[in-house]
Structure 1
């Protein structure tokens, strides 16, 4: 399993070298955009709308738009310094809480944690302590230049870290429009709904749930591929090797020159034929 981050988690005086591994994978089917005319993939270029030129990566700077059309430019050196200052304090477990106190709306991404070199015993200690206390650890960690709030818990004998949103990143439910303030339903309607819920209640078995749309899309793609319903980009016309300006002009003239009409045969009169 690919390691995406190396570091350590600490709580109190205990330090645990760990590695992070992505616990989930995106299996969405990526579809490319092609030009309908020639089936060539569409290019997306970074173009400055004022200079009307394509901008190279080294010509791009980061900035914060504090009001419409006004920016504060941030230097890479400043961002790197800020990142380094926070990395040193980004792995400490700051609190232990009951997991049920964290609403699922806060959860973001999940990572498996494996012990680094020499960290096996401390890893086992934290895992056992979390299991017996029935609590989860709250920590701060920097991943991909962003400080994340994270939950550390045990899943199938493995420590798992789940990044969670900060409170100010979760929008207020009260701002959702058109939500009824009161329940305007009858007792009979509630009882019927609960009966339906009871009938559909079962144990959670994740293996029985599949992405039916993705499966159908893959089947469609495969049927078109095996049925030879495939397209290929139109080849670009090869560039000529003519570099001399006059030669290029002459080649262009020759290419566009209209063809001469065929010469007409001279008619021979019947009198001339007799004399011959």
Structure 2
């Protein structure tokens, strides 16, 4: 496993250097979206809704829209200025009975591994949690997101489980449950008998994901029967525009850029068919007002 975070648990006057590891991972069969006709991978581009052009990751910022429709743009520098007092520290706030933490609050689970020089204070914290049957309520910042969390013991390892903030748990508002319902003693006795007939100690290892197992068998059967195909080769840059959609998109984007630059210089914009060579395009000239307006409208639509 690879550590995703390094810091320390602040336990009173004791500091326990630790590394954080993801304790869980989803078991899934990775599937790609492909074109049914030729098996080509389906790609997604990040496109600006204003000018229709592709945007590089380095040019993307985060924005917040206010209630009155105004946009607030937040940059990486803005986020760096935000205070994160627990950025490299797991700050123990209090110790509470384990049964007082509502399971609905629990999120992701992580393993805490101590540094070699911190095994003794780590064992001290672990023993205190086990002896008192309590969990430690802490604050921690992971990937620039501050969270509440709890520390508890699983086998010999201290695990950290992040918690939802209280206002992130929705209220269950179901008026139908306020209606008076009469349950007869015989019905309650029968329901209790059914529960007892299915009572057992929980052993998650006896269950399996039947869907994933069936999907893996389906894929294996197709492979063994030869029902496969070679992945298609990526289109060559020398291909004509009729055979490569990406080339058409590139030319269209270039044309929009040219039109935008001409408009910025106050020149008339002339529509150029997708795939046409810029050298063969007619230079923009004076046109009647109505024709110019129609040309601009067509350019925006493209």
Q: TM-score, normalised by structure 1?
A: 0.81
Work out which of the two has the higher radius of gyration on C-alpha atoms and give 1 or 2. Answer: 1
**1:96-175 matches, cutoff 5 A:** 96-173=95-172, 175=173
1:63 shift after superposition: 1.7
Is the alpha carbon distance of 1:182 and 1:231 closer, same or farther for their aligned partners in structure 2, counting shifts above 3 Å?
farther
Contact 1:17 1:117 (8 Å CA) reproduced = no
Contact 2:138 2:149 (8 Å CA) reproduced = yes
Query: Deviation digits for residues 28-71 of structure 1, max 9, x if unmatched?
Result: 22221111222111001100121110000111111222226422
1:204 aligned onto 2:202 = yes
Count of aligned pairs between the two proteins: 242
Is the alpha carbon distance of 1:2 and 1:176 closer, same or farther for their aligned partners in structure 2, counting shifts above 3 Å?
farther
Query: Deviation digits for residues 160-203 of structure 1, max 9, x if unmatched?
Result: 11111110011112x25754644343322221111111010001
Counterpart for residue 187 of structure 2: 189
Contact 1:113 1:161 (8 Å CA) reproduced = yes
Counterpart for residue 76 of structure 2: 76
Counterpart for residue 220 of structure 1: 218
Is the alpha carbon distance of 1:176 and 1:223 closer, same or farther for their aligned partners in structure 2, counting shifts above 3 Å?
farther
Query: 2:175, 2:55 → 1: CA distance?
Result: 42
Could you say what secondary structure the match of 2:130 adopts?
helix
The two structures, once aligned, show a CA RMSD in angstroms of 2.3
Counterpart for residue 255 of structure 1: none
Contact 1:17 1:119 (8 Å CA) reproduced = yes
Name whichever of 226-235 and 138-147 sits farther off: 226-235
Q: TM-score, normalised by structure 2?
A: 0.74
Could you say what secondary structure the match of 1:6 adopts?
strand
Query: 1:128, 1:14 → 2: CA distance?
Result: 14
Contact 2:84 2:146 (8 Å CA) reproduced = no
Counterpart for residue 29 of structure 1: 29
If asked which structure has higher relative contact order (CA below 8 Å, sep 6+), I would say: 1
Contact 1:83 1:145 (8 Å CA) reproduced = no
Query: 1:84, 1:179 → 2: CA distance?
Result: 42
Query: 2:114, 2:209 → 1: CA distance?
Result: 33
Query: Deviation digits for residues 9-39 of structure 1, max 9, x if unmatched?
Result: 1121111111111111111222211112221
Counterpart for residue 274 of structure 1: none
Contact 2:18 2:113 (8 Å CA) reproduced = yes
Counterpart for residue 94 of structure 2: 95
Query: Deviation digits for residues 116-175 of structure 1, max 9, x if unmatched?
Result: 2421111010001111111100000000110011110111011111111110011112x2
Contact 1:149 1:165 (8 Å CA) reproduced = yes
Name whichever of 62-71 and 52-61 sits farther off: 62-71
In structure 1, the gaps of 5 or more residues are 243-247, 250-276
